[in-house]
Amino acid sequence: MFIKRKLNPKIKAEFSMFWGHQEIRFGTKFEETEMAVTKDSLIIRRYESRDKESVRNLHWLALSINTLVANGPWDDGDLHDIQNEYLNKNGEFLVGVLNNKIVGMGALRKKTDKIGEIKLMRVHPDYQRRGYGQLILDKLEAKARQFGYLILCLDTTTKQVPAQNFYKRNGYHETHRAVISYMETIFFEKHLE
């Protein structure tokens, strides 16, 4: 819920763009405007370099809950350079912000000209089951369509049953399984319309 005052035409356009699911940055061009977000409103925006530590912390927190604390393919080295690994290569990296705290994230990476990969879907344990992961996934899928991807793929482990169910509810189907390091991994894909 937003409260607005004294919107000039440029600000109104940006405000409309947000509701059209486009990125805006709060506090940069809203000089005569007051905006308030209710405590239950998640703001989803593109990753910025200032988010690096919060993103890494959320990533490791999610992994530790699923007992994936050893080195392995989930130790995504791509977090060291999100700009070049995702944003500069027909990908996306989104963060969900609630009360100035990053509580969710998700990424899209190019595999081929027609296939994208969903990566790093994380929601802080204290904020799960509120639909935040769904909002982030929806935006990533929309971005994949903009890039012209026809198929999205992803993987999760057999230990992450809630994640498996989440992806199945969203139209992803299992393609195969493999053991990576010591973890049984399930691979999913979805054909975009």
How far is Cα 21 from Cα 46, in angstroms, rounded to an integer? 12
The per-residue pLDDT string of the chain (193 residues; one tens digit each, 9 = 90 and over) reads 333 333 333 333 333 333 333 333 333 333 322 333 334 689 999 999 999 999 999 998 887 776 555 555 555 567 888 999 999 999 999 999 999 999 999 999 999 999 999 999 999 999 999 999 999 999 999 999 999 999 999 999 998 999 999 999 999 999 999 998 788 999 999 999 8
pLDDT, residue 69, reads: 52
pLDDT, residue 67, reads: 55
How far is Cα 15 from Cα 189, in angstroms, rounded to an integer? 35
pLDDT, residue 78, reads: 79
Work out the number of other CB atoms within 10 angstroms of the CB of residue 101.
12
SS3 state at 120: strand
Q: Which CATH superfamily is domain 37-191 in?
A: Gcn5-related N-acetyltransferase (GNAT) (3.40.630.30)
Q: Domain boundaries in the chain?
A: 1-36, 37-191
Residue 47 CB burial class (10 angstroms; 0-12, 13-18, ≥19): buried
pLDDT, residue 80, reads: 82
pLDDT, residue 72, reads: 52
pLDDT, residue 88, reads: 93
Work out the number of other CB atoms within 10 angstroms of the CB of residue 151.
15
* Long-range contacts, 113-117 (Cβ 8 Å, 24+): 113/148, 114/148, 114/149, 114/150, 114/151, 115/149, 115/150, 115/151, 115/152, 115/153, 116/91, 116/144, 116/147, 116/149, 116/151, 116/152, 116/153, 117/152, 117/153, 117/154
